[in-house]
Structure 1
Amino acid sequence: MPSVLLDGDPVPASGELPASALEGLGTRPFGFYVHVPFCATRCGYCDFNTYTAAELGPGASRADYARTAVEEVRLARRVLGDAELPVQTVFFGGGTPTLLEAGDLVSVLRAIDSEFGLAPGAEVTTEANPESVDPASLERLRAGGFTRVSFGMQSASAHVLAVLDRRHTPGRPAEAVREARAAGFGHVNLDLIYSTPGETDDDWRASLAAAIEAGPDHVSAYSLIVEDGTRLAARIRRGELPMPDDDVAADRYLIADAMLAEAGFSWYEVSNWAVSEDARCRHNLLYWTGGDWWGVGPGAHGHVGGTRWWNVKHPAAYAARLSEGVSPAHAREVLTAEDRHVERLMLQLRLDTGFPLDEIHRDARPAVARALGDGLLDPGPFRGGRAVLTLKGRLLADALIRDLT
């Protein structure tokens, strides 16, 4: 999560949501995001709401975290009332969730199941660093109900990992995938980052080849973003490293799409590829298609029925509020109909299913026509009434979305 708290409206101590948010509750997909804000070390490019042991300070600890998170799950049940809300997806992110004992993660999942009930076939994902798991912990997670694991591989090049301040060795992600498969995980993702300063095209090809060879059924690939306040930003500002180049990033994206397609992966979101529809990340699809979710943990964001809120950042403040029976939410906003339209367009246009043409505002229609003429939109789906990006369109997705909103 971003390190800066956003402004917003106050949240009642009870966490009560506006009546508008509860309208239609249960008719939309519902999930949980559980933020685990702990890391062994801080990566130089990361500005997420995470804490090393030295940064935590008094009032918070890893040992107590699962119990605190369970209290927020119970709060969610009180706030959402008696509505039938079978949980279709649960995603443990961070930070590094697997710095907690597997039993702690399972206890939070069991609380979600106890309070809400997991839907049949629910997808339950945890993120993990390759060095933060072993065969025994993966077996405990799988036995406890986890169905999917997402490993932060980032690169197969030792010098690129060093720039990113990643601790694992280049071969460890493939070992972790094998261990996850042996533990019974049917779905495994590898996260990659491209355009790190010092990375070459050959480095990137080698990383993709290593990821494909490892045998995941899902790959996410993101261009490195230099965030203000990070060690990486400071190194670039001092001239120690070059700023990532947009043209290089575009070339790396084309390399990724070609190599992944040749290996049997299909894109379904601009930065995500899967070997089958079943391998797609259903939790992220819930975000991208306007579902509801409750965000558990410091700095976590939730969204129900057009109301979005975010929790206090620090684990100590988070724990203190819940121990007092008070919502940990820092602030919230109630989205207008136009806000929700813009967000739907921004997210759904990035999907392979695209966005309905008849829902694009009339004053944006000339931009739609230009995008079609420039080869950014696929003419086949266009004739069927949907705006779907071409490969060229994916490269220019952010600019096109700005034109259409």
Structure 2
Amino acid sequence: MTELKADVLVLGAGMVGVGAALHLQKRGRDVILVDRQDLAGQGTSFGNAGMIECASVFPYMFPRNFGEILRYARNRAPQVRYSLGDLPAFLPWLVRYYLASSPERAFKSAMAELPLIRRSLIEHEELIAEAGVPELLRRTGWIKLYRSEATLAKAMREFDRAKQYGVAGEVLDDAAIKLREPHLGGEFKGAIHFTEPGFVPDPGGLAKAYAALFRRKGGSFLAGDARTLEQSTGGWRVSVDQGAVTAREAVVALGPWSDLVFDRLGYSIPLSVKRGYHLHLAARGNAVLNHPVLDADQGFVLAPMNSGIRLTTGVEFARRDAPPTPIQLQRALPRAHALFPLGDALDARPWMGARPCLPDMLPVIGRAPRHAGLWFDFGHQHHGLTLGAATGRLLAEIMTGETPFADPAPFAVERFG
């Protein structure tokens, strides 16, 4: 085929890449979206709890409480598990994560990301309306359940702090929990219903709807190998199934696989992953789950997806490409059955994905300093679905010379030296 040309290549068709492609397209750029899959949203964007977490002001930082660290180190906590064999590979990154999680540095990260978090649902609402898929957004918020006085008290302190930054919610006693979710079982000291966040009952489907919108507006979506990206005369070139495509600029939005490109280009960026699993199960009888619910003490989420009740686990520290070890999921299953009337599994096997994380829990957004026309947009940690549309707007504003709606400096790759 004749070599295709565009203004911008966006590498990666997850929520982050599609969000960037749409915002660049909206600003008059001719964009080609490239992914190894024929469909958008097949990677990390496919598997999550479906929350557009506009209430998550404070990122998930490394714990500072010694007792909590010791509990995780014993590898029995439901929220976190690590692969002992992979420990040498990710221990240096964990040390950087711990250091970046000091109260001062964690607060700095939170304040840097706050404009993105607070803009996240607004950007999604606009894209969902334009894509014509209002059924993929439910304004239910989500409920965090607490089984002990200690965990409830800690959550209340965090909630009081978050309210200072505009987070809304309701504290629930046992009767209020039952009113909202009559089919839940178990004894709880209380819960917090975060009422603002949006819930997406098919995250992979939303990424596909955005990609379809991108195509309707004249964009090209091609299957190709991002690892073939190379600088060419006047821009960037990448191989696709039909041949090759070139553009003046290229955006690396490959989530946990971004290192496959930036490593080759000589960038030393401390990108690591937190792996996670999910499994869909049927609801028994006439049982209905009205909201996503987090069992905070037992470390899992149940979310009422279109494809069944999705059980999602906490964090697994292991190499990105190591074989799946869904031990957390196996441990969570009996607890999930006790929480809600679940039937048979609807998936042949559990799904596994990898959340791309930097030690300060902030993404890298902006110019690659040593290569003209190369841009980065990855490392969205637990908030790829939440932030993809907002960071797409921020990147597009930077690339097209607009005044950005948030300060881009904290997201620059130069922060890592």
TM-score, normalised to structure 1, is 0.29
**Greater share of residues in helix:** 1
TM-score, normalised to structure 2, is 0.28
